[in-house]
Structure 1
Amino acid sequence: MKAAFARSLPRNVWFLGFVSLLADVNSKMIQSVLPLFLVSVLGTNLITVGFIEGIAESTASVLKVFSGALSDYWGRRKELAVAGYGLSTLVTPLFALSTSPAWVLVARFLDRIGKGVRVSPRNALVADVTPVAQRGAAYGLRQSLDTIGAFLGPLIATALLFLSAQNFRLVFWCAVLPGIIAIALLVFGVHESLQVSEAKHNPLQWSALKSLGKDYWMLVVVALLFNLGNSSDAFLLLRAQQIGIPTSLIPLSFVVMNLTYGLSAYPIGVLSDRIGRLGLLIAGFTLFAFVYLGLTLAQTPWQIWGLFALYGLYLGKTQGLLLALVADQVPDTLRGTAFGLINLVTGVAILPASLFAGILWQKVGYQATFMFGSVLAIAAILVLVLSFRCNHKFL
């Protein structure tokens, strides 16, 4: 039945899913080896590595708002998505040609500009062609295919490094190919469907933002509160190392996470179309709280591996559902803006969340870092329940 349900999803959803898969193979091949390339080949210090990543991710978060708003104003999302994916692929050779950290910074900066340009229009494209009754399945499918790419990218990079005697530049050159195929699929396989009136209005003006609705803005508040406790995955890796997992095996944690993430996102999306999204989102936040609590109590490597698998399940229960909830709440012509704003909030929250997590770890202990995240997750759940307790359509 699930297979038949998946086949019934619009053509655009499938193509966008495979575009995401190939683009994630491209980006994860690069990201999984870039820190090692910077440190071992270019002699970069860890502070510089952190600076490059911080600048890159902040850029992407800010641009998602403007690209989403522009897609609403222009009424043409596909061109922005093509521009974003195209820029990221176009700059991939810069990583292979880099001879200094400055070159890597430029390449990473331009790559994240590409991500910032494409994400909100792409998410809106999914909603534009999908009936309300299938949105959970549509976002779940796209998320699952995206995660398969995130799973395959590091594995391909690892295999190339093994076969080429640690040739990082070869990995970067090979990453160009999936990027090119992704652009071709987007250009020839995805068709624009959004219709807008000739009288165009600025989607970022106050009247437009107000029309997004109270329920949408409450979701934004909940996402901000939750993500202030959802620090960088680097702290998960540090905890794994602290428990005693060999450094050479720690990258496999992302494989474990993405495996359970990819396997769960689509079935949970389908389930949300049948029983409602809010309860499943709350269950996902609750699972996150228990995983973070588990990280304070774990004493053996097998417990950490199990927690990594549950962390991937938490992602599968929340990422696609939050997008579907946003799509359900806002007017068709403001979807890009709505996705951009919530992406901005969650992206910007990463910096203070990670800084505070590091301070807590250093000054108090690792337990404080994960307990803080668990408490904020519970707080987000309470706000969500209290806000929507009378709105039965979410339940």
Structure 2
Amino acid sequence: MTVDAVGRTFWLPIGILVLLTILRLPETLLLLRLQDLGVPVAMVPLAWAALHVVRSGSSYPGGWLADRAGARGALALGALLYAGAVTALAGGLGAAAAVAVFLAHGVVAGLSEPAERLAVARLAPVRTGRGFGNYQGLSGLAALPAGLLFGAVYSSAGGPAALLASAGALALVTPVWLWAARPPKAAAGAAPGGSSVSR
């Protein structure tokens, strides 16, 4: 699995990984949802700062999980946990519960981000820098229209609709990721240091 390969070996799993990334709501919409649920405006910047503290603190266990379970499984778990968190945030939570669920997004991000990097590195073990460049470029290009789409849904149909759309899309794409990132048959007996995303 190298960046020079064609077809499923690189571009298909990378494309699905980009989908898993951009189907998560922009943090600005999550902060707006906090205000909808009664969190005072003065507390929103504190919640945002706390989110990044939680994300940083979750990165080490996220790296451990990726090494133990493999990038494929860790990313699937992260996507489903995120879907559960945004589904909860779509409900009629009180302000304190809303902040707690919002901070849980930091845990999910901390658990998922090391697995994202591991997946790209395993998919492009020869030209890893180019592999990361391709992934970041695709993610950046896709993030703006995805954010605009979710923003339009939020404005027209309300916060719960946007959050549930994100959760539903992630639930649909996660099995596709598990299929696209499955180890090829030839690598079934490969050593842990091989290029399989599942390890």
TM-score (norm 2): 0.84
Inter-partner Cα distance in structure 2 for 1:265 and 1:227? 17
Query: Partner of 1:361 in structure 2?
Result: 154
**Counterpart residue identity of residue 148, structure 2:** L
d(CA) in 2 for partners of 1:388, 1:226: 13
* 1:310 corresponds to 2:104: yes
Provide the C-alpha distance between the structure 1 equivalents of 2:112 and 2:69, rounded to a whole number of angstroms. Answer: 15
- State the Cα deviation string for residues 238-294 of structure 1 (Å, max 9, x = none): 111111111111001222211221111112212322332221111111111111111
1:344 partnered with 2:132: no
Residue number among 17, 22, 35 corresponding to 1:223 in the alignment? 17
Structure 2, unaligned runs of 5 or more: 189-195
> Residue in 2 aligned with 1:263?
57
Q: Gapped runs of 5+ residues in structure 1?
A: 1-207
Q: Is the 8 A contact 1:223 1:345 kept in 2?
A: no
- Residues 271 and 345 (structure 1), Cα distance of their counterparts in 2 relative to 1, 3 Å cut: same
Code of the residue aligned with 2:81 in structure 1: it is L
Q: Give the letter aligned to residue 292 of structure 1.
A: V
Q: 1:210 to 1:320 in 2, by over 3 A?
A: same
1:228–1:349 Cα contact (<8 Å) kept = yes
Larger radius of gyration: 1
Residue 375 of structure 1 and its aligned partner are, at CA, apart by 1.5
* Structure 1 residues 297 and 350: alpha-carbon distance in aligned structure 2, compared to 1, 3 A threshold: same
Match of 1:381 in 2: 174
Q: With a CA cutoff of 8 Å and minimum separation of 6, indicate the structure with the bigger relative contact order.
A: 2
User: How far off is 1:390 after superposition?
Assistant: 5.5
1:210: Cα distance to partner? Answer: 4.0
CA distance in 2, matches of 1:370, 1:255: 21
Is the 8 Å Cα contact of residues 291 and 311 (structure 1) preserved in structure 2? Answer: yes
Question: How many residues were matched structurally?
Answer: 187
Give the structure with the higher percent helix: 1
Q: Does 2:67 align with 1:273?
A: yes
Write out per-residue CA displacement over residues 137-193 of structure 1, whole angstroms, 9 at most, x where no aligned residue.
Answer: xxxxxxxxxxxxxxxxxxxxxxxxxxxxxxxxxxxxxxxxxxxxxxxxxxxxxxxxx
Deviations 1:59-98 (A, max 9, x none): xxxxxxxxxxxxxxxxxxxxxxxxxxxxxxxxxxxxxxxx
What is residue 91 of structure 2 aligned with on the other side? 297
CA distance in 1, matches of 2:34, 2:177: 31
SS in 2 for 1:250: helix
Kept after mapping to 2: 8 A contact 1:213/1:329: no
Tell me the distance in 2 between the aligned counterparts of 1:317 and 1:357. 24
Q: Distance in 2 between matches of 1:367 and 1:217?
A: 33
Q: Supply the distance in 1 between the matched residues of 2:6 and 2:53 (Cα, whole angstroms).
A: 35
**In 2, Cα distance between equivalents of 1:222 and 1:317:** 18
TM-score (norm 1): 0.44
> Percent sequence identity over matched residues?
25
Aligned AA (1:363): S
Instruction: Supply the distance in 2 between the matched residues of 1:313 and 1:374 (Cα, whole angstroms).
Output: 17
Aligned partner of 1:239 in structure 2 is 33
Root-mean-square deviation (Å): 2.1
- Output the CA distance in 2 between the equivalents of 1:379 and 1:298: 24
Within-5 A mapping of 1:10-25: none
Q: 1:285 aligns with which of 79, 91, 95?
A: 79
Spell out the pairing of 1:82-97 with structure 2 (5 A cutoff): none
1:339-361 deviations in Å (ceiling 9; x for gaps): 01111111122211121112112
